[in-house]
Amino acid sequence: MIEARGITKTFGGRGGLLGTQPVAALRGVDFVLPSGGAVSFIGESGCGKTTLGRILCGMEQVDSGQLLVGGTDLARLPQRERAALLRRVQMVHQDPYSALNPTRTVRQVLEDPLALRARQLRRGRDWVESRAVELLGLVGLDPAYCLSLYPHTLSGGMRQRLVIARALTVDPDVLVADEAIAMIDVSLRLGILALLRQLRSELGVSVLFITHDVAAARYVGADGQLYVLYRGQVVEHGPVDAVISSPMHPYTQCLLSAIPVLRGLEEPAAEQLMPIAGLDAGHEPPGCLFADRCPNAEDDCALSRPTLRDAKEPGHRHACLHPRPRQVVAVPLAPDARPSGPP
Amino acid sequence: MSPDSPPSVKVTTGSGKARWARLGRRLGARVLTGVVMVLAVATLTFFLVHSMPGNPIQTEYQTLIARGVSPSLAAQQVAGMYGFVSSKPLIDQYGQYMWHLLQFNLGKSITASGEPVVHLVLSAAPWTIIPVLSGLIVSFLLGVSLGAVAAVRRTNRLGKVLSVSGSLFHGVPQFVWAVMLAYLFTTLLPIFPFGSPYNILDTPGWNGPFILSLVYSAILPVLAYALSSYGGWLLTMRSSVVTVLGDDFVLAAELRGLRPLTQLRYVARNAFLPLFTTLLLSVGFMFGGSIFIEEVFDYPGLGYQLVNAVNARDYPLMSGDFLFITVAVIAANILADFLYTFIDPRVRKAA
Amino acid sequence: MRTNSASLSSPTATTAQSVTVPGEVPGAEIRGLKVVFQTPAGPMPAVNDVDLDLPLGTITGLVGESGSGKSTLALAMMNAVPKPGHIAAGSIRLPSVTDMTRLQGKALRLARGTALGYVFQASQNSLNPLKRIGAQLLDLGRAHGMEDKGALLRHARELCERMGLDPVRTLSAYQHELSGGMRQRVGIVFALILNPSVLVLDEPTTALDMISQRTVLDIIRYVQRERHLATLIITHDIAIVADLADYLVVMYGGRVVEKGPTRHVLQRAAHPYTEGLIAAIPRISGDIDRAQPLPGRPPDLLSIPRQGCVFRERCAFAIDQCSVQTPGLMPVRVTRRHDALEEDSALLDGQVAACHVRAPAPSAKVST
Amino acid sequence: MAVTVIEPGLGATGTRRPRPPGHWQAARRALLREPRRVVGAAIVVIFVVLAVVGPFLYPRHLAANANSIYAPPSLVHPLGTDFEGTDVLSLMVTGARYVLVSGAVAGAIAVVLGALVGLLAGYLAGAVDWSLSRITDFALTIPQYPLLVVLAAVVRFTSPVLIGVLLGVTSWPGLARAVRSQAFSLRERPYIEASRSLGLSTRHVIVREMLPNIAPYVAMNLLVSMIGAIYAETGLFFLGILPTSNVNNWGAMLNQAVFSAGAIGSPQAISYLLSPLVAILLLTLGIVFVLDAVDEFFNPRLRG
């Protein structure tokens, strides 16, 4: 559905009177998001994952590289058609509070884009109204209760469902979910993730999941691919469970080691890795970008920058000169060891 | 297994030299913009004068001809007054006007019998600048401190009275202040002199009685400036303090048990910062107000001169005054912007 | 019902030998705390009848969603409940303060920071943006009568070093020159500089990414070990404290619904809310579909039920009694086999829950 | 312990909350919350009524009476008389319309221009923003009163509407800048981004999504611009920059009082001189109190 080839994006770096330091947000990112599939991007804040999402939704332009939506190269299209094509990619924002206009009711939020859609499909006003009700039902909101409300009366979880319903008004092929559960109450998070999963299976919508929560990525797209971004570069990617269970790149290993262990329910891994330094985004090394923080760096790491190469499993690739697989995530205790509650 | 110490992180503080270079660039860019603006205002003035009803330049030329002056001499005289020769095409006249402007030549006044406009403007300037600045300082100090009180006490009576007083003072126009003060303190309660910037019986110069009479006569105008801008400062400071009081660090300072005085200092400094830019920007507003205040108190400043020039149709003097006032405002803007980078560490870095 | 919970909550588990539970020296004791907010619809309790013990040398994780009252509880510990609210009842005893709720004026100001160190939820912005960090630390020291500048700065440098911060550069930096993770560490330095014995951290890792979160949690862990503090970590994410806390306290709708040793609460959550919360955590390994969403939504201040169980509207096990009678905290009894947990059975009485179904009162009928 | 009764509709459903009250209702509540706001609104209404009906109450040309110059307030002349013996109250009442008409015109023009320029610059960004912002900066730099004085020498002002147009055209930049910065931050809001990526038209985004969010601010500025224009106009008349003969308004009254009739030096003229001043003060007071209510209505943070 979406194919990215060597997407590059650099911010700042203007010369002249008010010169600023350029910051590379994306350095030649390739990935393929198949129809109905899922791709997850994980990484620290500032690794470029948000920029990637914004590029896919047409809110930013790439500096170089190709972005193909449904097999068509966006750059080759005239403005109008590009906008139409990008409409098939919709964003689910991180903050459901600022993603909804406080002055528009739930009905207006849905019916504005639906009216546009109705014109395309040559449908009438009735269709707009029934579709709004249908979409609310699909995302698990009660239309009778919601339709005339303003967003501020809804809870975070309900708002996020509404945001998803709004994205669905244009029948998108792809949903880009950027930290879509970060600001939602924990007891409601899984509900949103389950909804995304349900939309994948029921509507065949592809999901690009951007998060720092690996477990959430796994829940939504366990059958898809996991990409690890570090300072704009994909340092490792592969099938979700392959990357989680035998990560090759030390950065991936550090990320996975940082996941808290549910003591009593999970057995911590024997080995864990932590970076030896904090992120210094101002420093642009000639060699591996992670070398200055890598606990396993060797002398040659600072000299040449590794590119993606194949790991053992098919489709699993990493960009490390001295890879060593480590099992760093906790494993669940056998279900038997966990007695159920009292009757 | 957790490591014994967390990974160390680097603190990036702006290095000295690069910072100065950035500041220099910023200042350069601002000055450049300012020069462009001055030129634009000059252009505006030129075309305004040119669209004056009955074309004053042509009228002046005709008057001279009628008085029996030869056409070439008349043209020369007109050129001397306005800085451009009327018979040439507009674009040439404009070019000449701007060229004279770059040499600080604003032409000659019509009413003041051929006195260069630059001299007249410069001699009027101190009569405006000194009272304006004094009034500004008085109102700023008063408004800012009372504004802080009004914000801190915003729930009780004192705060409400203060902020209503601020709105009221802010709302009342300058000429009303001037007339009220003049009527109250020179007619109903005649404790201040009226109608002259100093006692005409004293000899002008550096002598005690003269300076004393200057100060004495300046009290009412300064008071008028101060009263008309006090309310604005109070309101701005109040809303700035209210905003800062909602910031997280203020609650944090309280919950860490900092002294009330320290907390107040934290709030005051953060609230004060945005006002600093406004302080210099308000110079423009005050200069505008000089028109009314000087007119009421017969104070021979720029505003008084401007109004008289307009009434007497002395266009060279009028455009000279207007240009000077605008340049002063632009200069204050640049100064404000530049100084701000020094007092706010955040801008200092981002500059 | 007040007496029920009070008598049961004080930790009597002196038999504890587990390494995670060191000797329980009284640190902070909260008794019968009730915080009420005045709203247009009348007074609303945000924190209701809460008893909590924070023994020295232990970490307690307080878990709750928005509207659970956890942040209000934290502010109440500083006697700093914001305006339409006030502490209506209860007491808060700290090692050096008899009752925080009774302090006022200068005594309260001095107690804040010295008796109890507080790391703010918004630590990202908890410092004066116009003042260097070192200067603000000196302000803090001076406010609490520490006139020895040199000693204070030495202590600050030492703390910075322990947090992995370059002391010289950090102390001479402005807040905006620090990253999110660094600000959080500086927040901890500010909380510890006056050597309090109780440390409260409100959402210490919100807005941090995984690695910074882990670093901050590690710092909390060894600062705790070094200083033998009574630490309270307030969080919405049970996973964050699962690895770190000795005790878990779960709040819902202003009430404590379950508490006990972390391992027990996680393994054998008794309250349906705790159980649902744990079940709703997506796992990094194992069967994906084991994670189950929790239906409904948490109540806000206006919709907290005044009577009966606060969770009953979302509860699959609710019985008639739940809407009539507010359940008190009762010891959790395991009636089914627990062979695999034999070594932990001695600690069973440390876990209590407020649920008519899962932890019924000994005598079935308790008058309200 | 007292038994608490579950309030109907609150505890029972748990999730249902009443809809927010309508804007009119909220505005009324804000107004009625403090008595002084009601007083303020009453003052403003009285002035508006005077402006509308005032000129019909008196003859077109007010009678002068050489026998009672600077008469003190009396039953016949509640506010005394002026230097020609004309009744001051009648001058005041008939003068209100002139000022309020230009004020309304000026306020409307300033707000429409300011909001339009600000919204376009803020929303379209890029080159449009750059050029509009430069124009705004430029216009903002020129002090308004001196510019008006100079313009008054160029343009012949014959009607209050024309003056209003001029005042409006010179006073939009402040609002434009403020609206621009608001529009700029709105533009970055996810909900605006979402509307654009859903393919909604620019017009829809500006009119339906952004405008309602800045409407309160604009509404407040309408009031502020109007009062500003009224004062600017009165001031220009006061200075004599605008021709005062044959016009009847407060500024012209003050001009004659101060500069030609010498009332400022005459203690007997107190009611004549003070009447326009007090009228301006009263109007200011009224507007301040009304703005106080408007402020609370839109800016809950200041409620304290």
Which CATH topology does D86-303 take?
MetI-like fold (1.10.3720)
The answer, yes or no, to whether residue A343 has pLDDT greater than 50, is no
What are the residues of chain D with a beta carbon less than 8 Å away from any beta carbon of chain A?
15-17, 19-20, 189-195, 197-200, 204, 208-209, 212-213
CB B308 within 8 A of CB B190: no
Residue-wise pLDDT for D186-208, tens only, equals 888 889 989 988 888 888 998 88
Please list every residue in chain D whose beta carbon sits closer than 8 Å to the beta carbon of residue C302: 10, 17
- Whether D181 has a pLDDT exceeding 50, the answer reads yes
Q: What is the pLDDT of residues A233-262, one digit of tens each?
A: 999 999 999 999 999 999 999 999 999 988
Q: How many Å apart are CA D136 and CA D132, to the nearest integer?
A: 6
Nearest-CA distance from C302 to chain D in Å?
7
Domain B116-347 sits in CATH at 1.10.3720.10
pLDDT score at C220 = 92
What subunits make at least 3 CB pairs under 8 angstroms with A? B, C, D
pLDDT of residue A267: 87
Please give the residue range of the domain that contains residue C131: 26-257
Interface probe for B, chosen from A274, A293, A294, A328 (most Cβ of B below 10 Å), is A274
pLDDT given at position A174: 94
Structure confidence by residue, pLDDT tens digits, C184-213:
899 999 999 999 999 999 988 887 888 888
Distance CA B338, CA B330 (A): 12
Percent of chain C whose pLDDT exceeds 70 = 87
Residues of A whose CB is below 8 A from B3: 274
Interface of C with A in 270-289 (CB under 8 A): 270, 273, 275-278, 280-286, 288
Q: How confident is the model at residue C363 (pLDDT cuts 50, 70, 90)?
A: low
Instruction: Note the ipTM here.
Output: 0.79
Q: How far is A266 from A256, CA to CA, in rounded Å?
A: 14
Q: Token match 């730099």: residue? A: D141
The closest of A242, A224, A223, A226 to A234, measured between CA atoms, is A226
In contact, C186 and C82? CB cutoff 8 Å? no
Q: Return the closest-CA partner of residue C190 out of B257, B256, B247.
A: B256
**Closest by Cα among A340, A304, A335, A339 to A322:** A304
Least confident of C290-299, D60-69, D106-115: D60-69
**CA A96 – CA A86 distance, rounded (Å):** 22
Mention every residue, 6+ apart, whose C-beta is less than 8 A from residue A170.
Answer: A87, A88, A90, A113, A116, A117, D198, D199
Over residues B241-280, the pLDDT tens digits come to 988 988 889 989 999 999 999 998 999 889 988 887 777 7
Question: What is the average per-residue pLDDT within A275-293?
Answer: 85
Distance from CA of B51 to the nearest CA of D (A): 7
What backbone torsions phi and psi does residue A291 show, to the nearest 5 degrees?
-55, -40
- Mark residue A16 as left, alpha or beta (left: phi above 0; alpha: psi -120 to 50; beta: remaining): left
Number of domains in chain C: 1
Return all residues near B294 (Cβ < 8 A) that are at least 6 apart. Answer: B127, B128, B221, B300, B301, B302, B303, B304
- H/E element, D144: helix D144-154
**Number of CB atoms found within 10 A of residue C33's CB:** 24
Gap between the Cα atoms of C117 and A11, Å rounded: 40
Q: Write out pLDDT tens, residues C299-347.
A: 877 788 888 899 988 898 989 999 888 898 888 876 544 454 444 444 4
Q: Is the C-alpha dihedral spanning D280, D281, D286, D290 positive or negative?
A: positive
Provide CB contacts within 8 A for B343, sequence distance 6+. Answer: B273, B276
* Residue D178: HSE in the Cβ half-sphere, 13 Å Cα cutoff: 16
The residues facing A73 across adjacent strands are: A68
- The answer, yes or no, to whether residue A341 has pLDDT greater than 50, is no
pLDDT digits (tens, 9 = 90+) for A305-324: 999 999 888 889 999 999 99
Residue type, position C346, single letter? A
Do β-strands C42-56 and C25-39 pair in parallel, antiparallel, or remain unpaired?
antiparallel
CA angle D277–D156–B74, rounded 5-degree value? 120
Instruction: Give the residue extent of every domain in chain B.
Output: 116-347
Please tell me the distance from the alpha carbon of residue B173 to that of residue B169, in angstroms, as a whole number.
Answer: 8
Q: Which residues of D touch C307 (CB under 8 A)?
A: 3-4, 6, 11
With CB atoms and an 8 Å threshold, state whether D197 touches A57. yes
Q: Within 10 A of B99 (CB to CB), how many other CB atoms are there? A: 12
Rounded-to-integer distance, Cα B285 and Cα B332, Å? 11
Chain D interface disruption, residue of A103, A109, A135, A159, most D CBs within 10 A: A103
Long-range contacts of A239-247 (CB under 8 A, 24+ apart): A239/A313, A239/A315, A239/A316, A240/A40, A242/A313, A242/A315, A242/A316, A243/A316, A244/A214, A244/A218, A244/A329, A244/C284, A244/C285, A245/A327, A245/A329, A245/C285, A246/A311, A246/A313, A246/A325, A246/A326, A246/A327, A247/A325, A247/A326, A247/A328
Domain assignment present for residue C47? The answer is: yes
Distance CA A88, CA A81 (A): 11
Q: Which of A188, A212, A260 sits opposite C297 (nearest CB)?
A: A188
pLDDT of residue B64: 75
Q: Which of D141, D150, D231 lies nearest to residue B333, judging by beta carbons?
A: D141
In this prediction, residue A194 carries a pLDDT of: 93
The shortest CB-CB distance from B11 to any of C122, C170, C222 is to C170
CB contact under 8 A, B262 and C110: no
Distance, CA of A193 to CA of A184 (rounded, Å): 11
The tokens describing C156, both together, are 């600050």
Are A98 and D200 in contact (CB < 8 Å)?
no
3-state secondary structure of A217: helix
Q: Does C112 reside within a domain?
A: yes
Residues 144-173 of C with CB under 8 A from B: 144, 162-166, 169-170, 172-173
Q: Quick one: pLDDT at residue A229?
A: 94
Q: pLDDT value at position B84? A: 54
**Dist CA B296 CA D258 (whole Å):** 8
**Alpha carbons within 13 A on the beta-carbon side of C116:** 31
User: Per the CB < 8 Å rule, is D6 touching C313?
Assistant: no
The token pair at A157 is 């979880």
- pLDDT score of A13: 56
Q: What pLDDT is attached to residue D6? A: 26
Considering chain A, what is the average pLDDT of its residues?
A: 87
Cα distance between residue D236 and residue D231, in whole Å: 9
At D66, the pLDDT band (50, 70, 90 cuts) reads low
Q: Which of A101, A152, A160, A185 is the best residue to mutate to test the D interface, defined by the most D CB atoms within 10 Å of its own CB?
A: A101
* Pairwise CA distance, residues A181 & D49, whole Å: 57
Q: Test D14 with C303 for CB contact under 8 angstroms.
A: yes
Q: Is B188 exposed, middle or buried (0-12, 13-18, 19+ CB in 10 A)?
A: exposed
The CATH number assigned to the domain holding C184 equals 3.40.50.300
Two structure tokens written together for C52: 């909590």
Give, as one character, the DSSP assignment of residue D209: I
Smallest CA–CA separation between C368 and chain D, in Å?
8
Q: Look at strands A174-178 and A89-92 and give their pairing.
A: parallel
Determine the pLDDT at residue C206: 80
Put simply, the answer to whether C143 touches B6 (Cβ < 8 Å) is no
The answer on pLDDT for C81 being more than 60 is: yes
What is the number of other CB atoms lying within 10 angstroms of the CB of residue A31? 17
Whether the CB of D152 is below 8 Å from some CB of chain B: the reply is: yes
Q: Do the Cβ atoms of C314 and C328 come closer than 8 Å? A: no
Q: State the pLDDT confidence band at B285, using cuts at 50, 70 and 90.
A: confident
Per-residue model confidence (pLDDT) at position B187: 77
Task: Answer whether C68's CB lies under 8 Å from C62's CB.
Answer: no
Q: Give the model's pLDDT for residue D149.
A: 85
pLDDT of res. A218: 94
* Strand ranges (E), chain B: none
- Average pLDDT estimate for A213-233: 93
Give the Cα separation of D66 and D69 in Å (integer): 6
Which residues have a Cβ under 8 Å from the Cβ of D173 and sit 6 or more positions away?
D114, D136, D137, D139, D140
- Are B290 and B128 in contact, with CB atoms under 8 Å apart? yes
Question: Cβ separation of B187 and D240 shorter than 8 Å?
Answer: no
Nearest CB among B2, B9, B259 relative to C218 is that of: B2
Coil, helix or strand at residue B28: helix
Task: Return the number of CB contacts < 8 Å for A and C.
Answer: 159
pLDDT tens, position by position, B13-46: 555 566 677 777 778 888 888 888 888 888 888 8
Cβ–Cβ < 8 Å for B278, B236: yes
Residues 1-20 of A with CB under 8 A from B: 17-19
Give me the phi and psi of A239, to 5 degrees please: -55, 140
Output DSSP code: residue D8: T
| D1 chain-C contacts, CB cut-off 8 A | 368
pTM across the whole model: 0.81
Domain residue spans in chain D? 86-303
> Min CA distance, C213 vs chain B (Å)?
11
Contact across the interface for B249 and C80, Cβ inside 8 Å: no
Residue C245: inside a domain, yes or no? Answer: yes
Mean pLDDT value across chain B:
80
What would the mean pLDDT of D148-175 be, rounded to a whole number? 84
Separation of alpha carbons D159 and D105, rounded Å:
12
Q: Indicate the range of A333-337, B182-186, B335-339, C252-256 predicted with least confidence.
A: A333-337
Average pLDDT over residues D241-261: 75
Nearest by CB to residue D191, choosing from A83, A89, A99, is A99
**Which pLDDT does position A335 carry in this prediction?**
57
Asked if C230 and C27 touch (Cβ cutoff 8 Å), the reply is yes
Q: What is the pLDDT of residue A240?
A: 94
Percent of chain B residues topping a pLDDT of 90? 8
Q: Which of C181, C214, C297 sits opposite A157 (nearest CB)?
A: C297
Per-residue exposure over D239-256, b if at least 16 CB sit within 10 Å of its own CB, e if not: bbbbebeebbbbbbbbbb
Query: Nearest-CA residue of chain A relative to C274?
Result: A187
- pLDDT winner (highest mean) among A6-15, B123-132, D93-102: B123-132
Residue A302 scores a pLDDT above 80: yes
- Other CB atoms within 10 A of residue A61 CB: 11
Q: What distance in Å separates residue C205's CA from the closest CA in chain B?
A: 15
Which is higher by pLDDT, A235 or D271? A235
Please indicate whether, in this complex, the C-beta atoms of B345 and C190 are within 8 angstroms of each other: no
B214 pLDDT more than 60 = yes
Query: Which uninterrupted H or E stretch holds B23?
Result: helix B16-50
8 Å CB contact of B7 and A276: yes
Sign of CA dihedral B160, B161, B167, B170: negative
